Chains A and B, each alone.
Chain A
Amino acid sequence: MPITYTSQEQIEVYRFSLPVTIIVPLVAIFLQAFIPLRFPFFGIFDLPLLVVIFFAVARRSPIAGLITGGLIGIVQDSLTHQPIGLFGIAKCVVGYGASSLGVKLDVENAGARFLVTMFFYVVHEFVYFMVARGLVGLSLQWSWPHELRSAIANALLAVALFALLDRFKQRT
């Protein structure tokens, strides 16, 4: 059973140093902007989203999660030519949702991380799609096969990435 129900007392809350809090999201955004130039298939991944999920789940604070998600999303938006707020809103929702889930469930093992990332990837894409179509008027197309493929790819990457980022965790 990868996802276990835990009591509030059993949950470990982590914090991160200021350099990690700033540098890790910036590196994720940088890699997201840089790697697809050399390896176009990398465009399927959303590294900033994975970082948002990781911080949100580890901190287990919905407000910290939504603010982290919002800020990372806004920086990601500012590199596009679309209005600022599309990624901001989507990642805000994901940050809030992931940290709220982290409060209730133990998502420390690989299986749980895989499922959580898959779920929140789809949530992220759905929110983005709705806002982009409803508010901005972009003509996006929703394709379940594409979204599921991307969700699985991101979830697999998340398992490896989260294991790496675990090294920066500090117990409170």
Chain B
Amino acid sequence: MENLLSRYRNVSVLVAVLFAQVLALGVQVKRSGENRSTRLIRVWSVSAITPLEKVIVRTQSGTSNLWHEYFYLRGVRQENRELKQQIERMQLEQVRLTDDAEQSRRLQALMGFKEQFISQTVAAQVIGSSGSEHSRVIYIDKNANDGIQRDMPVITADGVVGKVLQVFRSSSEVLLIDDQTSGVGTILEQSRLQGVLKGTPGGETILDKIMNDEQVQPGERVLTSGGDEIFPKGLLVGTVAKAVRGPDSFLSIKVKPAADLSRLEEVLVITGKEERQPQVAGAVPRAVDILAERLPSVPDKPATGEHTAGDVAPDTLTTVNKPAGVDPGSTVPQASGQPSPGVKSAAKPAITPVKNAPASVTPSATPVRPESAPADQPQ
């Protein structure tokens, strides 16, 4: 036996080493989900590799900043002019969007919706990768001391990147959305179909679990659905690149990620989310307030002293005659739902009591102005 072993010493060692590794692999696979058994090896390796990566990335970005911010300023004047024009355009756009958002929040508040707000983020630099095509993970330079924890979402300004997989002493490991073991709960923006975004072994991203009989158009945006309880709802994930019938009962949908996952330099880790009902600036409006904004009204009549709010029959309070040529659901231009802050009665501006509104009222008639016409004031 001894002779046999010494004769085949090399092969014996090979078999022994392979057996040990296969055994260890089997143990890890059985305890899938836990990385405790190999945690020490991973910590040592990451601690040996990532500090050097950190130094190089920081030196590189420092040099790059120095060059771009102090030396290479060609075309900055022109760029500055263009950016100022862009800001002006965006300010106009912002006014419109703010109005829309405010209206949306009010409606959500009425319906009892709870929203997830991103309350805190940490900016991190990407310092390394796994170096393997089969494992799509990156390393960032932030760790537990910066508030990073397992399963926190990672995004860029363009879209979703992935989630934190492990936190080490000097860095954190992030699983990208194009890895085959990842999964993101998503929803299609137009069709509102929900599916799971996964990576393929080839590095593509596909949308799974959407039935073959559904219609999905290329170019449609894919957003997070919030169903995975990791990513907040509504973050952009990517756009549908191709949708064809799959071999099973699900569509085969290829998605182009919004974030360029192969060229990541800086990312944001969402470290704080809070779930709350959307709050509207000022007092909380009621359903009637919203209706008041949407429905047309009549011009204010001069106060005669004959009618007070208390005199008006309850059924007439909510009765507004439909003016000619106005759709019931149309929004009256310039209608403002913002009650005056500090005015208690303005919290219930409701609808201006109207009796027998004339049929000649047009959409351009004076909109309801709750701040100037509280319900308990005579009209």
Contact = CB atoms under 8 A, between A and B. Distances in A.
Residue from B10, B28, B265 with most neighbouring chain A CB atoms (10 Å): B10
A75 B45 contact: yes
A78 B41 contact: yes
A82 B135 contact: yes
A96 interface: yes
A87 B265 CA distance: 27
Contacts of A37: 126, 128-129, 138, 263-265
B135 A80 contact: yes
A76 B251 CA distance: 36
Given A79-B49, A84-B24, A135-B22, A63 B13 contact: yes
A74 interface: yes
Given A36-B131, A139-B201, A81 B25 contact: no
Contacts of A96: 10, 14
Nearest to B24: A85
A100 B179 CA distance: 36
Contact of A43 (B22, B25, B133, B201): B133
Given A34-B128, A138-B201, 11 more contacts: A30-B49, A33-B131, A48-B131, A78-B42, A79-B45, A79-B49, A85-B24, A88-B21, A131-B22, A131-B25, A139-B201
B175 interface: yes
Contacts of A93: 14, 18
B130 A81 contact: yes
A96 B25 CA distance: 20
Given A84-B41, A135-B26, A140-B201, A79 B10 contact: no
Contacts of B139: 33
Interface in A91-122: 92-93, 96, 100
B44 A80 contact: no
Contacts of A87: 132
B262 interface: yes
Contacts of A62: 10, 13-14
Interface residues of B, number: 51
Residue from B18, B165, B181 with most neighbouring chain A CB atoms (10 Å): B18
Contact of B130 (A26, A79, A132): A79
Interface in A129-145: 131-132, 135-141
A138 B21 contact: no
Interface in A21-70: 26, 29-30, 32-34, 36-37, 40, 43-44, 48, 62-63, 66-67, 70
A2 interface: no
Given A74-B41, A81-B165, A141-B202, A92 B18 contact: yes
Residue from B21, B56, B126, B131 with most neighbouring chain A CB atoms (10 Å): B131
27 contacts: A29-B49, A30-B49, A34-B53, A37-B265, A62-B10, A63-B9, A63-B13, A66-B13, A75-B45, A78-B38, A78-B45, A79-B130, A80-B131, A81-B165, A81-B179, A82-B134, A84-B25, A84-B28, A84-B42, A88-B21, A89-B21, A96-B14, A135-B22, A135-B26, A138-B201, A140-B201, A141-B201
Contacts of B202: 141
A132 B135 CA distance: 12
Contacts of A74: 41
A24 B53 CA distance: 16
B104 to A, nearest CB: 39
B10 A85 contact: no
A138 B134 contact: yes
Interface string B25-64: 1101100100000100110111011001100100000000
Interface string B259-285: 000111100000000000000000000
Nearest to A47: B131
B252 interface: no
A60 to B, nearest CB: 12
6 interchain residue pairs of minimum CB distance = A80-B135, A32-B131, A78-B45, A85-B25, A83-B28, A33-B131
